């Protein structure tokens, strides 16, 4: 058997570097997938194109990964990201309306109608928890007029 005999079953899809750089990043959603990871179960992979940032060059592509089985607040972060992205597109979405079926439709369509939604991703400085673990706060916001100034969103 040759080393590449099973290459037809391989995926060529790669991910961008993970978004963990502290700062305020105005980003457009470039894609959204749910994929199994090798060791930690399903992962929520949201890809962003940085439009404006105080720490990353514009045009950089980055990914935010949340391990759904391992990280206790992963689903809360994903829900917040969905709600902000819908709001950014001008589509009202109640918290109770973010269901598994809604998420499945988003990831089955690599972001679906949320592709291109502009969101602000604020990554804080890493903090130490009481148990000594490292924690990096990440928050999502609908962009303000100031965030959108100087951007060509056409």
DSSP string, 56-119: S-TT-EEEEEEETTT-TTHHHHHHHHHHHHHHHTT----GGG--HHHHHHHHHTTTGGGTT-EE
Report the run of H or E that residue 55 belongs to, with start and end. Answer: none
Residue 1 lies in a domain: no
Residue 125 lies in a domain: yes
Residue 120 lies in a domain: yes
Domain extent for 128: 15-146
Res. 14 pLDDT band, cuts 50 70 90? low
Give me the mean pLDDT over the 47-55 stretch. Answer: 96
**pLDDT at position 9, please?**
73
Record the pTM: 0.84
Residue 9 lies in a domain: no
* Residue labelled with tokens 């589509």: 91
Res. 133 pLDDT band, cuts 50 70 90? confident
Residue 76 lies in a domain: yes
Count of beta carbons in the 10 Å neighbourhood of residue 114: 22
C-alpha–C-alpha distance, residues 47 and 28, integer Å: 9
Residue 85 lies in a domain: yes
Residue 25 lies in a domain: yes
b/e per residue 126-135 (b: at least 16 CB within 10 A): eeeeeeeeee
Answer whether 31's CB lies under 8 Å from 47's CB. Answer: yes
* Per-residue pLDDT tens digits for 73-109: 889 999 999 999 999 999 989 999 999 999 999 999 9
Number of structural domains (the chain) is 1
Residue 101 lies in a domain: yes
Over the chain, what is the mean pLDDT? Answer: 89
- Answer yes or no: is pLDDT of 66 > 80: yes
């Amino acid at each position: 058997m040759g080393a590449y005999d099973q290459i037809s079953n391989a995926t060529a899809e790669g991910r961008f570097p993970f978004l963990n750089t502290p700062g305020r990043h105005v980003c457009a959603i470039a894609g959204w997938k749910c994929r199994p990871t090798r060791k930690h179960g399903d992962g929520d992979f949201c890809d962003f194109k940085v439009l404006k940032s105080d720490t990353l060059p514009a045009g950089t592509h980055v990914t935010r990964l949340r391990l759904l089985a391992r990280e206790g607040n992963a689903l809360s972060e994903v829900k917040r990201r969905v709600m902000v992205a819908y709001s950014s597109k001008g589509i009202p979405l109640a918290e109770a309306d973010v269901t598994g079926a809604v998420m499945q439709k988003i990831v089955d369509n690599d972001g679906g109608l949320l592709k291109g939604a502009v969101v602000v991703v604020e990554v804080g400085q890493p903090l130490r928890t009481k148990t000594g673990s490292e924690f990096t706060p990440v928050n999502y916001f609908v962009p303000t007029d100031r965030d959108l100034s100087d951007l060509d969103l056409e």
